[in-house]
Amino acid sequence: MTTDVVADKPAQETSGDSMYAWLGGEQAIKNLVNRFYDIMDSDDALKPIRDMHKEDLSPMRLSLFEFLSGWLGGPSLFIERHGSPCLTGAHKPFKIDAAARDQWMQCMNQAMVDIEIEPKYREMLTPAFERMAEMMRNSD
Ligand code: HEM
Structural domains in the chain? 20-136 (1.10.490.10)
Helix spans in the chain (H)? 5-8, 19-23, 25-40, 47-50, 58-71, 77-82, 87-91, 98-114, 119-136
pLDDT bin (cut points 50, 70, 90) of residue 25 is very high
What per-residue confidence (pLDDT) applies to 14?
A: 62
- pLDDT tens per residue across span 65-117: 999 999 999 999 999 999 887 899 999 999 999 999 999 999 999 999 999 99
Q: Ligand 1: which atom is nearest the Cα of residue 52?
A: 10
Which residue's alpha carbon is at the smallest distance from atom 8 of ligand 1?
91
Asked if residue 63 has its Cβ within 6 Å of ligand 1, the reply is yes
Nearest CA to 137 among 105, 95, 106? Answer: 95
Asked if residue 124 has its Cβ within 6 Å of ligand 1, the reply is no
User: Which one of 39, 78, 104 would you pick to mutate in the ligand 1 pocket, going by the greatest count of ligand atoms within 8 A of its CB?
Assistant: 104
For residue 92, the tally of other CB atoms under 10 A from its CB is 11
Decide which of 108 and 7 is more confident: 108
How far is 14 from 25, CA to CA, in rounded Å? 9
The vertex-131 CA angle with 104 and 124, nearest 5°, equals 95
How far is 85 from 103, CA to CA, in rounded Å? 23
What per-residue confidence (pLDDT) applies to 84?
A: 83
